[in-house]
Amino acid sequence: MGEKETDPLRGKYPYYVDHVLSEASSKYGIKLEDLLSKGYKIYTALDQSMQQATEAVYENADNFPVGTSTEELVQSGSVLLDPETGGIKALVGGRGEHQFMGYNRATQLTRSPGSSIKPLVVYTPAVEEGYDITDPLKDEKMSFGEYEPTNLSGEYKGEVPMYEAVMNSLNVPTVWLLNEIGIDKGLDSLKRFGIPYDKDDRNLSIALGGMKKGVSPLQMAGAFSAFANEGERMETHAIVRIENADGKEVAAWKENSTKVTSVGAVDKMNAMLLGTVEYGTAKNAAVSGYEIAGKTGSTQVPIEGISGVKDQWFIGYSPSLVGAVWAGYDKTDEKHYLTTHSSQGSALIFQK
Q: Is 298 exposed, middle or buried (0-12, 13-18, 19+ CB in 10 A)?
A: buried
> Tens digit of pLDDT for each residue in 73-83?
999 999 999 99
Q: What is the pTM of this model?
A: 0.95
Please count the other Cβ atoms lying within 10 Å of the Cβ belonging to residue 189: 24
- Residue 313 within a domain: no
The domain total for the chain is 1
Mean pLDDT of 313-327: 98
> Tens digit of pLDDT for each residue in 253-277?
999 999 999 999 999 999 999 999 9
d(CA 319, CA 31): 36
Please count the other Cβ atoms lying within 10 Å of the Cβ belonging to residue 173: 27
Mean pLDDT of 12-24: 96
pLDDT at 6: 46
- What is the span of the domain harbouring residue 123? 112-211
Average pLDDT of the chain, as a whole number: 95
- Residue 134 within a domain: yes
pLDDT at 10: 65
334-337: list long-range contacts, CB under 8 Å, 24+ apart: 334/303, 334/306, 335/68, 335/69, 336/67, 336/68, 336/69, 336/72, 337/67, 337/68, 337/301, 337/306, 337/308, 337/309, 337/310
Q: Is 36 exposed, middle or buried (0-12, 13-18, 19+ CB in 10 A)?
A: exposed
pLDDT at 239: 98
**pLDDT above 70 (res 9):** no
pLDDT at 191: 98
pLDDT band at 64 (very low <50, low <70, confident <90, very high): very high
- Residue 25 within a domain: no
pLDDT at 31: 95
Mean pLDDT of 24-43: 96
**pLDDT above 90 (res 3):** no
> Tens digit of pLDDT for each residue in 177-209?
999 999 999 999 999 999 999 999 999 999 999
Residues 6+ apart with CB under 8 A from 136: 159, 160, 161, 162
Cβ-contact 39, 245 below 8 angstroms: yes
- Residue 128 within a domain: yes
- HSE-CB at 172 with a 13 A cutoff on CA atoms is 21
- Residue 150 within a domain: yes
- Residue 61 within a domain: no
**pLDDT above 60 (res 96):** yes
pLDDT band at 8 (very low <50, low <70, confident <90, very high): low
| SS3 readout for 148-163 | CCCCCCCCCCEEEEHH
Cβ-contact 296, 313 below 8 angstroms: yes
- Residue 135 within a domain: yes
- Residue 307 within a domain: no
pLDDT band at 2 (very low <50, low <70, confident <90, very high): very low
CATH code, domain carrying 180: 3.40.710.10
